[in-house]
């Protein structure tokens, strides 16, 4: 096929021509191939001129995704775009290709499965290594595509081997270079790739030998390895994952963070990777989230509790002064017992995990025996076999959630119920009027003695006495100097 040459005079003409390209009737695979080549050639040639932002590139992808060309031939178009990713080296073309696959994969998960089957994981690792930050927009897009593809399926051990030490070090260094700006758009994609790689290595390490993905040799978790050896060089990463957990509402991403935290707190070399102040912030976040999780989110609650134990037992928090000891004991009492009417009775696993945390030495009262501690905190009595820990990395690695699912909030649900009840109840006119009135000022704090009385105004003959008026300015005139004779006569008189 001969390549068509286009001469455009305006941006609107660019979009009109693109509409014509993706609207072509293609009854055969050869015509589809021609249309896709024209699409990539056209967008690549005019990328610098008309595709200035991520929005413009995304708009290009949507043009193809919403076209008749794609609607009628989805499977064939997808596989051809995947092949283009595997073969193309031109950055402008890769940008359009990666954008299409990212948007399509988010709406259609089998697209990511097709990419994995065709070997896109090693290819993306290669492109990210080569691109680094020469083209920041493309590099960030490739990171997002790698993350989205990897978090919905298991990557083979052979493909995971392509993520070597150099690749992980490169990602850590990007975060450290941006340590002064936590809102830099690079932070989020890079951290998420490190989190999903950690999960992949974690799952591979706990997989059964009879699994459909055989492991020929034990894979090294390179995230944990590098933090164990050079953690002091990558402190910004640790600060940011705690910040991310504090802000994140997506369940699957919370689980990714918790899985990494679990490995860090159960690996001796990384027990003290975090700063003490950051650990205190993390403890505050975990306490808040444990109390805020609705009753039905059992797996997420279990994962938080599994992280809480090594956090309190192995890190700097086990050293005095013990941070928020009373609050921790109170939370354990709430989670493990049924003393609160707003909480359903705890399930067996929650009781076991809560009891395990409660056995940490600095959480116990010195004058109370082990059995009494359990009864005091949980309102139940457990046998020694029940208090024995059965926690393992397998339990943590196995917890999964679909991407995009938001974690509901107990507080939000309560406020919604209250507001919903208020909206349904009829209101009188008086109630409506009261709502728009200003909030009354707070009452004056009472004193032991009454304030001194205000002195009364002074009145004369029933009329309020006013201060005297300012006297008028004195009138003066210049006098002539008297002569000496006159002075003598005046003196004689």
pLDDT tens for the chain, 493 residues long, are 445 566 666 788 888 889 999 988 888 999 999 999 999 999 998 888 888 888 999 999 999 999 999 998 999 999 999 999 999 989 999 999 999 999 999 999 999 999 999 999 999 999 999 876 568 889 999 999 999 999 999 999 999 999 999 999 999 999 988 766 656 666 789 999 999 999 999 998 887 665 555 554 678 999 999 999 999 999 999 999 999 999 888 889 999 999 999 999 999 999 999 999 999 999 999 999 999 888 888 889 999 999 999 999 999 999 988 999 999 999 998 888 755 555 567 778 888 999 999 998 998 865 444 444 444 444 433 444 443 344 456 667 666 566 666 666 656 655 555 455 555 544 443 333 334 344 455 554 444 444 455 444 445 445 555 555 555 555 555 544 444 444 444 444 4
Asked if 145 and 174 sit in the same domain, the reply is no
Nearest-angstrom CA–CA distance, 276 and 288: 19
Asked if 47 and 70 sit in the same domain, the reply is yes
Tokens of 333: 């009492």
Helix or strand holding residue 464 (H, E) = strand 463-464
pLDDT of 436: 38
**For residue 368, is it within any domain?**
yes
**For residue 419, is it within any domain?**
no
Neighbouring residues of 248: CB distance < 8 A, sequence distance ≥ 6: 254, 257
Tokens of 115: 């990419």
- Counted domains in the chain: 3
Neighbouring residues of 401: CB distance < 8 A, sequence distance ≥ 6: 251, 252, 255, 299, 300
Asked if 49 and 139 sit in the same domain, the reply is yes
The last residue of one of the domains, among 404, 422, 455, is 404
In order of 58, 95, 189, 323, 328, the CA distances from 139 in angstroms are 15, 9, 10, 42, 43
**For residue 77, is it within any domain?**
yes
**For residue 366, is it within any domain?**
yes
Asked if 115 and 169 sit in the same domain, the reply is no
Q: Beta strand pairing status for 459-460 and 463-464?
A: antiparallel
The last residue of one of the domains, among 344, 374, 404, is 404
Asked if 245 and 374 sit in the same domain, the reply is no
Range of the domain at 333: 300-404
**For residue 418, is it within any domain?**
no
**For residue 412, is it within any domain?**
no
pLDDT of 187: 79
| Helix (H/G/I), strand (E/B), else coil: 402 | coil
In tens, the pLDDT along 123-182 reads 999 999 987 656 888 999 999 999 999 999 999 999 999 999 999 999 999 998 876 665
**For residue 429, is it within any domain?**
no
**For residue 255, is it within any domain?**
yes
Asked if 30 and 126 sit in the same domain, the reply is yes
Asked if 356 and 325 sit in the same domain, the reply is yes
Nearest-angstrom CA–CA distance, 53 and 202: 37
pTM for the model stands at 0.75
Asked if 8 and 140 sit in the same domain, the reply is yes
pLDDT of 317: 93
Asked if 197 and 143 sit in the same domain, the reply is no
Asked if 34 and 174 sit in the same domain, the reply is no
Nearest-angstrom CA–CA distance, 61 and 482: 109
Asked if 36 and 83 sit in the same domain, the reply is yes
């Amino acid at each position: 096929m001969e390549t068509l040459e286009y001469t455009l005079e305006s941006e609107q003409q660019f979009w009109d021509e693109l509409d014509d390209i993706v609207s072509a009737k293609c009854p055969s695979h050869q015509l589809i191939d021609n249309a896709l080549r024209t699409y990539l050639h056209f967008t690549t040639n005019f990328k610098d001129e008309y595709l200035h932002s991520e929005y413009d590139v995304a708009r290009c992808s949507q043009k193809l995704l919403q076209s008749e060309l794609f609607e009628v031939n989805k499977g064939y178009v997808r596989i051809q775009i995947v092949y283009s990713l595997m073969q193309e080296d031109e950055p402008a073309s890769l940008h359009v290709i990666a954008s299409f696959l990212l948007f399509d994969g988010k709406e259609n998960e089998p697209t990511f499965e097709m990419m994995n089957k065709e070997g896109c994981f090693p290819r993306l690792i290669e492109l990210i290594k080569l691109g680094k930050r020469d083209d920041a927009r493309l590099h960030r897009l490739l990171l997002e595509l790698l993350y989205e593809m990897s978090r919905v399926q298991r990557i083979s051990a052979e493909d995971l081997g392509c993520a070597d030490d150099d690749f992980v070090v490169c990602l850590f260094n990007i975060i450290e270079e941006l340590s002064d700006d936590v809102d830099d758009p690079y932070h989020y994609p890079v951290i998420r790739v490190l989190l999903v790689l950690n999960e992949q290595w974690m799952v591979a390490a706990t997989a059964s030998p009879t699994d459909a993905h055989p492991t020929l040799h034990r894979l090294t978790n390179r995230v944990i390895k590098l933090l164990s050896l050079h953690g002091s060089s990558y402190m910004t990463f640790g600060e940011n994952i705690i910040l991310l957990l504090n802000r994140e509402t997506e369940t699957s991403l919370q689980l990714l963070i918790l899985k990494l935290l679990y490995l860090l707190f159960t690996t001796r070399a990384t027990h003290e990777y975090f700063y003490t102040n950051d650990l205190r912030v993390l403890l505050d976040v975990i306490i808040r989230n444990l109390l805020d999780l609705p009753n039905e989110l059992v797996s997420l609650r279990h994962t938080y509790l599994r992280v809480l134990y090594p956090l309190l037992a192995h890190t700097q928090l086990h050293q005095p002064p013990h941070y928020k000891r009373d609050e921790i004991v109170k939370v354990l009492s709430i989670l493990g017992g049924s003393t609160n009417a707003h909480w359903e009775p705890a399930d067996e696993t929650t009781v076991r995990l809560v009891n395990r945390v409660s056995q940490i030495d600095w959480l116990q009262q010195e004058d109370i025996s082990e059995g009494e501690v359990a009864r005091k905190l949980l309102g139940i009595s457990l046998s020694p076999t029940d208090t024995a820990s059965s926690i393992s990395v397998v339990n943590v690695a196995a917890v999964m959630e679909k991407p995009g699912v938001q974690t509901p909030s107990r507080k939000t649900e309560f406020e919604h119920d209250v507001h919903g009840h208020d909206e349904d109840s009829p209101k009188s006119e008086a109630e409506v009027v009261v709502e728009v009135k200003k909030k009354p000022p707070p009452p004056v704090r009472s004193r032991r003695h009454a304030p001194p009385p205000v002195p009364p105004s002074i009145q004369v003959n029933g009329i309020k006495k006013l201060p005297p008026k300012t006297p008028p300015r004195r009138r003066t005139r210049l006098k002539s100097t008297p002569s000496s004779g006159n002075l003598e006569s005046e003196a004689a008189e």
